[in-house]
Amino acid sequence: MGPPWQTEHVVEPRFRWLPRDPVPLDPAFVAAVRERGASERVAAILAGRGVTDPAGAASFFGDPTAGLHDPRLLPDAELVVDRFRRARDDGERILVFGDFDADGLTGLAIVVRTCRALGIDAVPYVPSRLEEGHGLSVRAVEAARDAGASLIVTVDTGSTSHREIELARAAAIDVVVTDHHRLPDELPPALAVVNPHRPEVDYPDRRLAGSGVAFKIAGLLRDALGGDAAGVVDGVDLATIGTVADLAPVLGENRAIARLGLQALAERPRPGIAALLAVAGLRDRPLDLDTIAYAIAPRLNAAGRIGEATEAARLLLTDDPAEARELAARLEAANATRRDLTREVVEAARAAVPPGDGVAVVTRGPWPVGIVGLAAARLAEETGRPAVVGAELGSLIRASCRSGPGLDLAALLDACRDLFVRYGGHPGAAGFEIEVERWPVFVERFTALVASAGPPDPRPVLPVDLVLPPSRVDYGLVRELALLAPTGPGNPEPLVAVCGLEVARVRSVNGGHTQLVLRRRPDVLDAIAFGRDDLAGRLAEGDRVDVVARVASRIFGGIEALQLEIRDLASSGLVGELAKLAGLAGLAGRAGLAGRAGPAGEATVAGARGGTVGGTVGGPGAGSIREA
């Protein structure tokens, strides 16, 4: 029997509401956070994200330039400086090879612009996704030779390009690899391998994206070879775009880059970026990391997904506003085509998945190679299982892999490396090229490896940072949580569980959303549930609900008002321990969640590792950044 106030309108949560692991708080750390105008609840959220000491608090809240590490600590830094100095002094030509995604393109632009500023002849090269694929290509080595280049610099790639680097060496061309992807057991035979993941190097922060590594190289070269002082942070705007596009965690040095980059983008956007924002209809709107993730990055990626990414590179390299507008218009058209193709491929891939509840989704078809990564991401999101989607290219299959946390795709592909023509990637996103006849062997081995990693749980997770009674939702909370910005992967927007609200009004709004007015004593809170038009028909006035939401402040008719942006909703009591944490006696239900009391009746969510609460699930994962 349910609680006496429960009505027939029972709404199950779609997600597993996941508590943060408990982290003991150092009093000195809490004091440092308070000095920045935040309370212990923000300190607890930061601790759950790996920021646990006064130095970390100072870096998180302080001057972002202080969060940039000395680039001379990067591996092979001296070799890089010496080789670039020789190239400049001897008038050599450098071919800069950048990957065709937004991270590689922005990194390429940083290196090319830096070389040209230092008087070094630099030629950009962007590979064809279809004809060359990931990694340094034989065609690029041949292009470097034909162009008279004596040095190739890779950006966001090259760590596994052993054969191609050997070919370059045979042609008397040096290669400097700058990358951030997983390293093989044996380093490639390059002159220098600048990768913060090299185990013998103690670089302070290994989380840099490919464009972040390029940005550090640019600073290293400007500092060593000359240039104005302001130029040491030149390119930070491009590094921010690449960092966000590659889903690198917005913590540590990446956070410093993002803060500086957002400032640069707001104050002095390059012609190419200004043109992209204009075609997206965002020229006069405030710029944040979401704008980069959903507006800038997909448009940069679109050219390489449906054709060649050279135009995106030209956009990032031009200083001519007229040329930038023309190139941005082409990227906008490419992005519209990319959306249509993605929809078609996702539907076809979904239909091609063999029936049954296997441990992984593995499929292939005659699909555009630039779209299979998006399809894999969508299938992984929908099923909660790792997904591999391959594009059939004659005798070869080029595949993209996606997975959620808890499974290292790069390690799994490494265990299958004898089957591949080439491969590489990250724990959550990877790819490979394989001969058609080896595909069945790969499928068998890959699914066995996934199965050995443990049973999949298809239910999407919704992290909860704070549990509050309705009375604790106020403007002070909004201002305090805003101190965590800029937010993104690794430092997501804080989500708050608010318990014991009563539905005062509910209605559908255009776009498939539901708008609510939720009563608390003595007033009400406005709320919006984006993409949840089902709630309008499932809730009625008087229903009691718990929600997980982003707490925001909005201006309506010149009046500021609090608003809950609902990520998930459940009838009160279904996630009962949350109510206990919020101090609402009598609402306890049937979940298992432990907590630590916070100030003034709050609860900072804590629980056993991996512990979750929630019921029936479905729908897209929360907080993901994807190309819609």
Rounded-to-integer distance, Cα 422 and Cα 109, Å = 25
CA distances from 109 to 239, 345, 541 (A): 10, 31, 56
pLDDT level of residue 353 (50, 70, 90 thresholds): confident
Q: Under a CB-based contact definition with an 8 Å cutoff, are residues 527 and 564 in contact?
A: yes
Phi/psi at 197 (nearest 5 deg)?
A: -85, 0
Phi/psi at 301 (nearest 5 deg)?
A: -70, -25
Q: For residue 568, give the 3-state DSSP assignment.
A: strand
- Does pLDDT of 19 surpass 50? yes
**List of residues 6+ apart from 321 with CB closer than 8 A:** 271, 274, 275
The label of the residue with tokens 């050219």 reads 303
Three-state SS for 344-406 is HHHHHHHHHCCCCCCCCEEEEECCCCCCHHHHHHHHHHHHCCCEEEEEEECCEEEEEEECCCC
What crossing angle do the helices spanning 252-267 and 210-225 adopt, rounded to 10°? 80
Residues 263-296 have pLDDT tens digits of 999 999 999 999 999 999 988 888 899 999 999 9
Q: What average pLDDT does this structure show over 541-562?
A: 90
Second-level CATH architecture of 16-20+465-605: Beta Barrel (2.40)
- For 337-373, b/e burial (b = at least 16 CB within 10 A) is ebeebbeebbeebeeeeeeeebbbbbbbbebbbbbbb
Give residue 171's pLDDT. Answer: 97
Among residues 487, 477, 493, which one has the least CA distance to residue 567?
Answer: 493
Per domain, the residue ranges of the chain are 16-20+465-605, 71-230, 353-452
Q: What average pLDDT does this structure show over 508-536?
A: 93
Q: For residue 194, give the 3-state DSSP assignment.
A: strand
Rounded-to-integer distance, Cα 109 and Cα 117, Å = 12
The fold of 71-230 is inorganic pyrophosphatase (n-terminal core) (3.90.1640)
pLDDT level of residue 617 (50, 70, 90 thresholds): very low
pLDDT-above-70 percentage for the chain? 88
Residues 137-177 have pLDDT tens digits of 999 999 999 999 999 999 999 999 999 999 999 999 999 99
Phi/psi at 615 (nearest 5 deg)?
A: -125, -130
Q: Tell me the two tokens of residue 351.
A: 């239909």
Phi/psi at 76 (nearest 5 deg)?
A: 60, 25
Give residue 285's pLDDT. Answer: 83
Residues 203-244 have pLDDT tens digits of 999 999 999 999 999 999 999 998 665 555 789 999 999 999
Global pTM reads: 0.84
CA atoms within 13 A on the CB side of 424: 20
CA atoms within 13 A on the CB side of 138: 4
Q: What average pLDDT does this structure show over 342-364?
A: 86
Second-level CATH architecture of 353-452: Roll (3.10)
